[in-house]
């Protein structure tokens, strides 16, 4: 039976049934629809042609439109799913580019900082520049053929501290020539144990003792600053990322060519004034010693600070990085260039970190070098100043002096303290400093003093000595707060010295370097929270900073 006969009897067509069209729709079209070819407007089309249009194919125009829409939706769905799949695969590809390594290979863990009143905590990231010549590309860029395949050195070490409220950022560089004790580290790959060194080991050798996690362990032991993450990059990584960014402006006060008569030097050659450097030239800038100021590692650290400040300003201001191709290149090069701890081991985690860092303006960024003094041709942490700088970071105090801090109100615990002879507590030796060894048996001596005061359950902790500038009482949970405050009061410590911490399992007294001797801690003086002049602070917004060139290396 023909289609026109079916429609003439008023029966719905199969097409209508599929489309869900009502039986009166053709009549509406015939009464006021658009006529098909050869039909005057307002007249009904011929029977069997859909009653009013659709051309000569016998199909209803709206049904055909719906069919086209269905096909379009199907194709669009395939494209969307295909694009999402491709995006997912590329995301996985970027994740696969990232190398990870253990965060801390040592035995000591610095305590996590106490959250501020808003529940926020600081973030500390150790930036490591490796001089590894473990590939042809790194060998070509780094030279020194005799070190090919040898243990890598951590020639750049910068601790980046992001404040708890994300208003400011501080950076401490440690000169690679710093002599100190490197702690015991265990290589996670082969289980090899590297014993603790003496006090005369260069800090850059920590990287070759199991990996970046040993460099982290060295920093935590020296500074007692809790490190959340590390990011490490090698020569080729610096070059590829500098290329992807598109260049960073730097300044020298004279023409410079970093090359000695014996062929030593980075090879950096720039004219006086500001130059935009990228690729291999950026690496040369970061590695230059011969030609900058006195040719020391200290001058090189200053040049690195200038580069980083300029890099941050460039990333914040450079609209060229909105280009999809440039962003893709930067993502590709960055994920191939970096080695990170598992906590940063995905693109999304790195992206999250980047979002946190960009909350801070260059004006609130302060670059410093660890205060030092010379020991022969090497350096050691400067007594007093180095520990003061570490304390400021531990206490989350901005190095630019712009913090608006209100004195913390001391509040007695609602939880009553137990009798002294029922309070169990451990005593730890925290008298080690950046320049002084721990006082022998100090924990035992203080535990005996506490026992004489009635705290008969005080016991020394045999764990290795810590670094704590001020004596502190830590407790793990609120039900022990009253007991912890009672211990502090008995020693004449302020309530601000009592801190809740998840790093202890019970009440723990850490005897700091402020109590190296005597029966009672020294009364705390009003805190000086200014950044030591010897830290050579540089503000991140200083776009006029210019490296001084040694006249012997100008042209």
pLDDT grade, residue 43 (50/70/90)? very low
Exposure string of 211-224, with b = 16+ CB inside 10 Å and e = fewer, is bbbbbbbbbbbbbb
DSSP annotation of 420 reads: G
Name every residue whose Cβ is closer than 8 Å to that of residue 243 and which is 6 or more positions away in sequence: 278, 279, 333
Percent of the chain with pLDDT over 90: 50
- pLDDT given for residue 263 in this prediction: 86
Which spans in 208-338 are helix H?
212-223, 235-245, 279-287, 297-317, 324-337
Q: Tell me if 213 sits within 8 A of 120, measured CB to CB.
A: no
Q: How many angstroms separate the CA atoms of 31 and 37, rounded?
A: 16
Q: How many angstroms separate the CA atoms of 474 and 504, rounded?
A: 7
DSSP string covering 341-398, please? -GGG-SHHHHHHHHHHHTTS-GGGEEEEE--EEEETTEEEEPTTHHHHHHHHHHTT--
- Over residues 108-126, the mean pLDDT reads 90
> Which segment, 260-269, 433-442, 457-466, is predicted with the most confidence on average?
260-269
Instruction: Express each pLDDT in 277-332 by its tens digit.
Output: 988 898 889 889 999 999 988 999 999 999 989 988 887 776 455 567 777 777 88
Instruction: Express each pLDDT in 231-268 by its tens digit.
Output: 998 877 777 777 777 888 999 999 999 999 988 899 99
Comparing 342 with 297, which gets the higher pLDDT? 342
Distances, alpha carbon 167 to alpha carbons 115, 170, 366, 538, in Å: 15, 11, 12, 17
In which residue are the tokens 């780094």 written?
A: 142
Name every residue whose Cβ is closer than 8 Å to that of residue 204 and which is 6 or more positions away in sequence: 131, 153, 154, 155, 157, 176, 177
Angle value at C-alpha 15, between 14 and 18, nearest 5 degrees: 90
Looking at the chain, how many residues does it have? 555
Burial label, 249 (beta-carbon count in 10 A; 0-12, 13-18, 19+): middle
Q: How many angstroms separate the CA atoms of 538 and 544, rounded?
A: 11
- pLDDT given for residue 83 in this prediction: 57
- pLDDT given for residue 45 in this prediction: 44
Weakest mean pLDDT among 150-154, 340-344, 463-467: 463-467
- pLDDT given for residue 29 in this prediction: 37
- Over residues 48-65, the mean pLDDT reads 51
Q: How many angstroms separate the CA atoms of 493 and 388, rounded?
A: 20
Average pLDDT of the chain? 82
Asked if the model's pLDDT at residue 106 lies above 90, the reply is yes
- Over residues 351-357, the mean pLDDT reads 89
Helix (H, G, I), strand (E, B) or coil at 169: strand
- pLDDT given for residue 313 in this prediction: 87
* 66: enclosing H helix or E strand: helix 61-97
pLDDT grade, residue 550 (50/70/90)? very high
Distances, alpha carbon 501 to alpha carbons 341, 408, 509, 511, in Å: 24, 18, 12, 16
pLDDT grade, residue 71 (50/70/90)? low
Asked if the model's pLDDT at residue 52 lies above 50, the reply is no
Q: 10 Å Cβ neighbour count for 104?
A: 23
- pLDDT given for residue 334 in this prediction: 82
Q: Tell me if 537 sits within 8 A of 368, measured CB to CB.
A: yes
Exposure string of 116-144, with b = 16+ CB inside 10 Å and e = fewer, is eeeeebbbbbbbbbbbbbbeeebbebbbe
- pLDDT given for residue 199 in this prediction: 81
pTM of the model as a whole = 0.73
pLDDT grade, residue 446 (50/70/90)? very high
């Amino acid at each position: 039976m023909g289609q026109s006969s079916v429609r003439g009897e008023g029966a719905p067509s199969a097409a209508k049934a599929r489309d869900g069209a009502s039986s009166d729709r053709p009549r509406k079209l015939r009464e006021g629809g658009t006529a098909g070819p050869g039909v005057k407007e307002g007249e009904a089309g011929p029977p069997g042609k859909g009653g009013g249009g659709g051309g000569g194919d016998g199909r209803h125009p709206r049904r055909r439109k719906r069919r086209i829409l269905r096909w379009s939706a199907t194709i669009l769905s395939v494209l969307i799913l295909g694009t999402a799949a491709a995006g997912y695969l590329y995301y996985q590809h970027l994740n696969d580019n990232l190398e990870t390594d253990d965060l801390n290979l040592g035995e000591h863990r610095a305590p996590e900082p106490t959250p501020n009143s808003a529940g926020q905590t600081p973030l500390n990231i150790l930036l490591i520049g490796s001089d590894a010549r473990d590939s042809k590309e790194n060998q070509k860029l780094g030279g020194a053929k005799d070190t090919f395949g040898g243990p890598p050195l951590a020639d750049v070490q910068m601790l980046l501290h992001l404040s708890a409220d994300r208003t400011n950022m501080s950076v401490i560089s440690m000169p690679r020539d710093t002599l100190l004790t490197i702690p015991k580290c265990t290589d996670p790959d082969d289980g090899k144990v590297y014993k603790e060194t003496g006090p005369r080991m260069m800090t850059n050798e920590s990287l070759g003792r199991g990996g970046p996690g040993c460099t982290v362990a060295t920093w935590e032991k020296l500074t007692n600053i809790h490190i959340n993450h590390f990011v490490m990059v090698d020569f080729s990584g610096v070059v590829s990322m500098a290329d992807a960014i598109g260049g960073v402006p730097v300044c020298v006060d004279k023409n410079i060519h970093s090359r000695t008569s014996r062929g030593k030097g980075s090879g950096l050659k720039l004219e006086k004034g500001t130059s935009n450097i990228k690729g291999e030239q950026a690496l040369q800038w970061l590695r230059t010693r011969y030609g900058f100021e006195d040719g020391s590692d200290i001058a090189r650290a200053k040049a690195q600070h200038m580069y980083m400040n300029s890099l941050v300003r460039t990333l914040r201001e450079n609209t060229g990085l909105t280009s999809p191709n440039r962003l893709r290149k930067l993502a590709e090069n960055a994920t191939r260039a970096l080695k990170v701890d598992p906590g940063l081991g995905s693109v999304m985690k790195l992206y999250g970190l980047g979002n946190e860092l960009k909350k801070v303006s260059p004006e609130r960024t302060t670059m410093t070098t660890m205060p030092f003094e010379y020991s022969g041709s090497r350096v050691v942490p400067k007594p007093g100043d180095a520990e003061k700088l570490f304390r400021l970071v531990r206490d989350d105090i901005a190095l630019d002096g712009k913090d608006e801090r209100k004195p913390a109100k001391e509040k007695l615990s609602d939880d009553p303290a137990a009798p002294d002879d029922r309070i169990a507590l451990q005593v730890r030796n925290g008298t080690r400093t950046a320049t002084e060894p721990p006082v022998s048996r100090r924990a035992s001596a203080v535990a005996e003093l506490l026992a004489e005061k009635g705290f008969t359950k005080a016991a020394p902790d045999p764990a290795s000595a810590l670094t704590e500038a001020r004596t502190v009482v830590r407790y793990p949970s609120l039900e022990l707060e009253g007991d912890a405050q009672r211990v502090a009061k008995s020693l004449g410590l302020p309530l601000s010295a009592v801190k809740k911490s998840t790093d202890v399992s019970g009440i723990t007294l850490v005897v700091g370097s402020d109590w190296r001797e005597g029966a009672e801690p020294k009364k705390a003086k009003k805190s000086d929270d200014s950044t030591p002049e010897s830290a050579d602070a540089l503000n991140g917004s200083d776009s006029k900073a210019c490296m001084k060139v040694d006249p012997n290396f100008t042209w």
